[in-house]
Chain A
Amino acid sequence: MSKEKINIIHSRFVPLNMENVDTDQIIPARFLKATTREGFGNNLFRDWRYENDDVSKPKAGFVLNESKFSGEILVAAKNFGCGSSREHAAWALHDYGFKAVVSSFFADIFKNNALNNGVLPVTVSENFLQSIFALNENESLLIDLEKQQISIPSSGLSESFDINAYKKNCLLNGYDDIDYLISIKEDIIQHENSLK
């Protein structure tokens, strides 16, 4: 099954200047009871977004509720996505409309889950992250996956980021890991036989 392709993301951003944002915050456990992947965006950051779990009462001051912020890029402080392995966190971010998350540090499992769901995790230096947080809300970020570069168009400031070559190729072309693994089934069977 082919997946959505990712290359250039040029957009405004939502600054979530908090460290250690864990997956229980991204999507609280009580919303994990679905058996499909759809609709998680409504519950993204649910308990930070609403007073007493009441969708008619958005909490003032939370970035997703502030109309001055918008865009396809979420920018968060270090250790984003720690905690539970729930892929629902990546589904919620994607469903809400984020195509990339920028941070100075990602938890391992979250990073994999994001990559598997069309959300690009971009790791930047602490300095670069601080220059993003210092920007005015109308500015934008430009992420170029092919070049592995993130830049701030208004100042020309840019930084390169790491991504595993295999994953990059998958994202650029919309390839799917499972298709690949199924295609090498003979190798897998051979490996099993070699252990017998």
Chain B
Amino acid sequence: MGKTLFDKIWEKHIVKQIDNGPAVLYIDRHFIHEVTSPQAFNGLDKRGVKVFRPQQTIATADHNVPTLNQQLPIKDLLSRQQVDALIQNCSNHGIELYGLGHPNQGIVHVIGPELGITQPGMTIVCGDSHTSTHGAFGNIAFGIGTSEVEMVLATQCLLQSKPKLMRITIDGTLQKGVVSKDIVLYILSKISSSGATGHAIEFAGSAIRNLSMEARMTICNMSIEMGGRCGLIAPDEVTFEYMKDKPFAPKHTYWEKALAEWKKLFSDEDAVFDKEIHINAAEIPPMITYGTNPGMGIGINENIPTVESVSETDKKGLTASLEYMGLNAGLPIKGKKIDYVFIGSCTNSRIEDLRLVADFVKGKQKAQNVEVWIVPGSKQVEKQAIHEGLDKIFEASGFHLRQPGCSACLGMNEDKIPAGKYCISTSNRNFEGRQGAGARTLLASPLTAAAAAISGEVMDVRDLL
């Protein structure tokens, strides 16, 4: 029987298999940030243990940081203490830190790929659930808790049980105005936010092959929203082309050698998955969420489900969600007035996302009733956007390009959506209070968000193309 892509990578990283227990899995790359690492370093210090392989850990400050005036000291005392603790811990243990002001700083899942630190065939972890993003390069990448961060710092290994395997194949051609965010919101609406629990998800099919690396990352990013342990896509020419000139990609003969290895990374024809799902790309409309988990999504022209139409177990959840969201069952979502537009987060803050938005809003004006925040994923994205003059296009439309960080994705810094306000957001979670206590989040693609920024309400972007 053939092997899956996941199997091939997994097997290569097993140090030891414990009888009736988990495997000891070797970790190639470890990313850390200010929020989930301090307690891990405290733990190490208590044990009197040093970091085992400091060169394999890379740190950045992203969750807590302001997105305006980053050159000034952070105002919020607790945020500042967390960022300072990261600086101190990295310096004590010899870990490379891309902190505030560093040209490589940014959201941890944006900088790994753009610097070429993220590579095919690796095992990659970070104390952050959206580590699944890196799987777009054909590796095993997953989020861990702080105790596990401590494990990796101490031993470069984790104890892990092998997940089940699921393949989602998307064939066909996407409609105009439909982008990778819509694909992933569509899958979520079909399989629900627990549909892939316990599984590693391989995304395959012609529609995936035709996507850029940025677009693939958006899909793998939200594997965790389906409950998946990780998401991955077999590397191909698109991957290699993207990787080629990245600062930390292998060079010269090392590149040739790496490439030969990477080309072996695919699921064999006769590999067997525990679960298979097939989707026709042509059926996917621009998507939007109406509820308080990412599985609660509909096509932009559909009506919000009625309580009668959902299963018995979902009735209570739907009613509570709609009450929180201030939306009505059975009615259209199109035309809903919105207050904020957030374009950012590790789902959609890469240069391609900003280009897509700039291209769409060029020559158009922002609606009076909305406030728009465009937050680049990294310093590099910011620099590139300015280099291409996207900041000028945004200014002319009434938007402002801020500085990189997680920002309103989770509202740990000042970028919070006020209670009761509606925000159309390109991020990945619409949980109650995620963007600020009482905030109401509608998840959508950068294009759908840009269309709302112009019209001031939820609309079908295809009407403006």
For chain A, residues 14 to 48, give those with C-beta under 8 angstroms from any C-beta of chain B: 18-20, 22, 24-25, 28-30, 32-37, 47
**Alpha-carbon distance A33/B76, docked complex (angstroms):** 10
Q: Which of B35-43, B359-367, B456-464 contacts A (4 or more CB under 8 A)?
A: B35-43
A182 adjacent to B21 (CB under 8 Å):
no
A32 adjacent to B35 (CB under 8 Å):
yes
Chain B nearest CB: distance from A113 CB in Å?
Answer: 4
Q: Does B455 touch A at the CB level, under 8 Å?
A: no
B145 adjacent to A85 (CB under 8 Å):
yes
Chain B nearest CB: distance from A152 CB in Å?
Answer: 22
Q: B26: which of A165, A185, A188 is its contact (CB, 8 Å)? A: A188
B148 adjacent to A112 (CB under 8 Å):
yes
For chain B, residues 408 to 450, give those with C-beta under 8 angstroms from any C-beta of chain A: 410-412, 429, 431-434, 437
For chain A, residues 120 to 169, give those with C-beta under 8 angstroms from any C-beta of chain B: 164-167
What's the tally of chain A residues with a CB closer than 8 Å to chain B?
53
**Alpha-carbon distance A86/B194, docked complex (angstroms):** 18
**Taking A1-B47, A112-B145, A113-B145 as contacts, is the C-beta distance between A181 and B151 under 8 angstroms?**
yes
Interface string of B67-89 (1 = CB under 8 A from A): 00000000010110110010000
Residue of B nearest to A110 (CB): B145
**Taking A35-B85, A166-B22 as contacts, is the C-beta distance between A24 and B155 under 8 angstroms?**
no
**Alpha-carbon distance A117/B128, docked complex (angstroms):** 18
Q: Which of A5-13, A58-66, A67-75, A76-84 contacts B (4 or more CB under 8 A)?
A: A76-84
A87 adjacent to B36 (CB under 8 Å):
yes
Residue of A nearest to B419 (CB): A52
Chain A nearest CB: distance from B259 CB in Å?
Answer: 17
Q: Does B293 touch A at the CB level, under 8 Å?
A: yes
Interface size class of B (residues with CB under 8 A): 35 or more
**Alpha-carbon distance A22/B52, docked complex (angstroms):** 33
Residues of A within 8 A of B150 (CB): 178
B194 adjacent to A20 (CB under 8 Å):
yes
Q: A79: which of B35, B227, B410, B429 is its contact (CB, 8 Å)? A: B227
**Alpha-carbon distance A164/B313, docked complex (angstroms):** 29
A28 adjacent to B433 (CB under 8 Å):
yes
Q: Does A90 touch B at the CB level, under 8 Å?
A: yes
Interface string of A85-97 (1 = CB under 8 A from B): 1111010000000
A33 adjacent to B78 (CB under 8 Å):
yes
**Taking A35-B85, A184-B24 as contacts, is the C-beta distance between A178 and B197 under 8 angstroms?**
no
Q: Does B277 touch A at the CB level, under 8 Å?
A: no
**Alpha-carbon distance A109/B411, docked complex (angstroms):** 22
Chain B nearest CB: distance from A176 CB in Å?
Answer: 9
**Alpha-carbon distance A181/B21, docked complex (angstroms):** 14
B155 adjacent to A178 (CB under 8 Å):
yes
Q: Does B375 touch A at the CB level, under 8 Å?
A: no
A19 adjacent to B313 (CB under 8 Å):
yes
Q: Which of B12-20, B177-185, B326-334, B386-394 contacts A (4 or more CB under 8 A)?
A: B12-20
Q: Does A187 touch B at the CB level, under 8 Å?
A: yes
**Taking A35-B81, A35-B82 as contacts, is the C-beta distance between A181 and B35 under 8 angstroms?**
no
Residues of A within 8 A of B128 (CB): 84-85
Q: Does A108 touch B at the CB level, under 8 Å?
A: yes
Chain B nearest CB: distance from A144 CB in Å?
Answer: 19
Which of A19, A108, A164, A195 is packed against the most chain B CB atoms within 10 Å? Answer: A108
Q: List 6 A-B contacts (CB under 8 A).
A: A28-B433, A29-B410, A77-B313, A165-B19, A177-B151, A184-B15
Q: A24-B433, A77-B313, A191-B26 are in contact. List 15 more A-B contacts (CB 8 A).
A: A18-B320, A28-B433, A29-B411, A30-B411, A32-B35, A35-B38, A37-B42, A82-B227, A85-B127, A87-B145, A108-B197, A116-B145, A177-B147, A182-B154, A192-B26
